[in-house]
Amino acid sequence: MLKRFLGGGRRGTQRRSRRRSETLGRTALAWLVGLRRNPWAFFIVGLGLGIVIGVAFAVHRGPAPRLVASTQNPIVAPKPAAVPSPPAGAALAPPAAPSAPPSVGKPAWQRYALAMPATGGRPVIAIVIDDMGIDKADAARVIGLPGPLTIAFMSYASELERQATAARAAGDEIWMHIPMEPMDGEVDAGPNALKSGLSPEEIRRRLDWALERLPGIVGVNNHMGSKFTQSADGMRVVMEELRARGLAFIDSRTIAATVASRVAGQVGVPHIDRDVFIDNDESVQAVLRQLDETEHVALRRGYALAIGHPHPTTIAALQQWLPTLKAKGFVLVPASALLRLELSSAE
């Protein structure tokens, strides 16, 4: 019974499907006949079918590929190299800190000072040559001597940078020689000399003029100045400017009553005093005697500072004396080395 029912149901469904198909066929045929009679309707239907088919095709294939503007091979950036992983359990090293220049934070006198030579505990001597740069030929002869010497260029000399460059190349240390007022008012110390009767502003202006003429100096010392170095007020203006610039001071001690070193200590300027003038008497034999006195000071105290000038006789005496220092057990050093010794002994 169930089989007949199911079989009858299938046959009924098939008959209904055939009738629907025949009906759709007759309808489509009538529609096509109508299109043939009306060409514009045929065209519109064809266009619509084309649009539908095109959209369906585009959806099936996905978005169109991007076009490359250039026909040449594109430049492809290389892939970054793979960073190897550290071994398991290995500690990661911290990033290296950038190295700072050794001179950063140091005052100018230390930045421009020559290195301290190895002394091996032997006594040391510094030779300062003042008044340099006025006579170019004599200055060149001094620079040609065995060094290191300490060269104090006159502030108003010409061609300072050229001469200082030659002195540095020869291994010498560079200082500035500043004209200061002497006791004898008839004596001209030179252009822009520092004088006790000047206002602090004018003293500072004159000092700035001198210091700006030659960069890269370790410090200054006084040319003449037997009157000005007795003025505590005037020397304070000088020392405050030197401290602001990080420069040092050598007191030539042109008079026993000088207050320069005392004021320098109060203001905080590194300083040292002259021990021996080697050429007040300019004969070669007199200069050699003063150099012998310099040796005695160094043996007694461990160091000595002598000042001379670029006189032909002084140069001749130094030519004889300088080559003998090593055999005598002395070490020739720049003036800055004595500053270091003074500072280390004060600590």
Q: CA-CA-CA-CA torsion for 188, 192, 195, 197, nearest 10 degrees?
A: 110
**DSSP for 234-299, written as a single string:** HHHHHHHHHHHHT-EEEE--SSTT--HHHHHHHHT--EEE--EES-SS-SHHHHHHHHHHHHHHHH
Residue type for position 2: L
Q: Indicate the average pLDDT of the chain.
A: 81
pLDDT score recorded for residue 344? 81
Give yes or no for a cis peptide into 102 (omega within 30° of 0). Answer: no
Q: Are 325 and 151 in contact (CB under 8 A)?
A: no
Condensed to tens digits (0 to 9), the pLDDT of residues 296-324 reads 999 999 999 999 999 999 999 999 999 99
Q: Are 161 and 214 in contact (CB under 8 A)?
A: yes
The pair of structure tokens assigned to 142 is 């001094």
Separation CA 62–CA 77 (nearest Å): 29
Show Cβ contacts of residue 338 under 8 Å, excluding neighbours closer than 6 positions. 124, 126, 272, 303, 305
Show Cβ contacts of residue 23 under 8 Å, excluding neighbours closer than 6 positions. none
271-273 vs 276-277, strand pairing mode = unpaired
Backbone conformation region of residue 29, classed left if phi is above 0, alpha if psi is from -120 to 50, else beta = alpha
Say which residue, 250 or 71, is predicted with more confidence: 250
pLDDT score recorded for residue 20? 54
Of residues 189, 224, 248, the one with CA closest to residue 307: 224
Among 38-52, 85-99, 167-181, 284-298, which is the least confidently predicted range?
85-99
Confidence band, pLDDT 50/70/90 cuts, at residue 271? very high
> Is residue 292 scored above 90 in pLDDT?
yes
Condensed to tens digits (0 to 9), the pLDDT of residues 58-115 reads 444 444 433 333 333 333 333 333 333 333 333 333 333 333 344 558 999 999 999 9
Report CA-CA distances (Å) from 204 to 31, 211, 227, 284.
114, 10, 17, 39
Condensed to tens digits (0 to 9), the pLDDT of residues 153-169 reads 999 999 999 999 999 99
Confidence band, pLDDT 50/70/90 cuts, at residue 9? very low
Q: Are 219 and 245 in contact (CB under 8 A)?
A: no
